[in-house]
């Protein structure tokens, strides 16, 4: 379960588009009826031509209003980054909780994806860090990958699985190095860090 902070909910894009499409269909139906009526009554062609022009103008005004009504308030720039990583210990049910940032989720599916075993979840310590754009980077000792998740509709959805070690990470730690996330091995200080983005390993980020 994820418990994010409260935030303003913008209008749903799907609803706005449905509303605009509905108006379009209705107005085109009116125009079609007017055109058909004019073709069957030649003596009223001039009058209906003017009426059709008026109808088109009204249609364009309504369309503009609908599009403006569907616009979403956007605040930028925004920095979602955590200054330091969180090390989270799952309970026996696989739940972890980060009190500082009001984040909690279940790690069983993640451990099964990486280790093909989700029975002894409590023995694994997860390293979690959020980048400037709001993506969560998660790994742990013994992992061969770093997982990148996005917060989406009350879930954490996997965006990228980044392969970083053939043998598995020995002592991983995640650090901020904007615009990247730096992955280091704390037991091997002479190794160059691996620079990560939500799309994978950054160019030049791994020796």
Which long-range contacts link 187-191 to residues 24+ away (Cβ below 8 Å)?
Answer: none
Q: How confident is the model at residue 60 (pLDDT cuts 50, 70, 90)?
A: low
Give the model's pLDDT for residue 118: 85
Checking if the pLDDT of 92 tops 60, the result is yes
- Secondary element (H or E) of residue 110: helix 108-115
Give the model's pLDDT for residue 129: 98
Give the model's pLDDT for residue 142: 95
Checking if the pLDDT of 13 tops 90, the result is no
Give the model's pLDDT for residue 3: 46
Checking if the pLDDT of 9 tops 80, the result is no
Checking if the pLDDT of 93 tops 50, the result is yes
Q: Which of 163, 157, 159, 128 is nearest to 143 (CA)?
A: 163
Do 28 and 63 contact (CB within 8 A), yes or no? no
Q: How confident is the model over 173-196, as pLDDT tens digits?
A: 999 999 999 999 988 777 889 999
Mean pLDDT for the stretch of residues 116-133? 94
Q: Could you give the CA distance from residue 174 to residue 139 in angstroms, rounded to a whole number?
A: 9
pTM summary value: 0.68
Q: Kindly report which listed range (36-45, 92-101, 140-149) carries the lowest average pLDDT score.
A: 36-45
Checking if the pLDDT of 4 tops 50, the result is no
Q: How confident is the model at residue 69 (pLDDT cuts 50, 70, 90)?
A: low
């Amino acid at each position: 379960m994820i418990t994010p902070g409260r935030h303003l909910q913008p209008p749903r894009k799907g609803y706005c588009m449905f509303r605009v499409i509905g108006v379009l269909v209705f107005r085109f139906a009116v125009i079609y009826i007017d055109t058909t009526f004019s073709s069957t009554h030649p003596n009223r062609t001039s009058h209906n031509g003017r009426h059709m022009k008026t109808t088109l103008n009204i249609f364009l005004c309504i369309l503009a209003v609908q599009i403006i009504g569907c616009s979403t308030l956007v605040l930028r720039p925004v920095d979602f980054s955590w200054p330091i990583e969180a090390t989270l210990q799952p309970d026996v049910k696989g739940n972890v909780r980060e009190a500082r940032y009001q984040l909690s989720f279940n790690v069983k599916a993640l451990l099964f994806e990486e280790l093909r075993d989700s029975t002894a979840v409590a023995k694994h310590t997860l390293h979690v860090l959020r980048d400037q754009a709001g993506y969560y980077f998660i790994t742990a000792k013994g992992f061969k990958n770093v997982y990148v998740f996005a917060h989406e509709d009350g879930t954490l959805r996997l965006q990228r699985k980044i392969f970083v070690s053939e043998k598995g990470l020995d002592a991983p730690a995640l650090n901020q190095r904007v615009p990247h996330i730096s992955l280091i091995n704390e037991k091997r200080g002479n190794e160059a860090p691996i620079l990560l983005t939500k799309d994978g390993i950054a160019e030049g980020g791994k020796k």
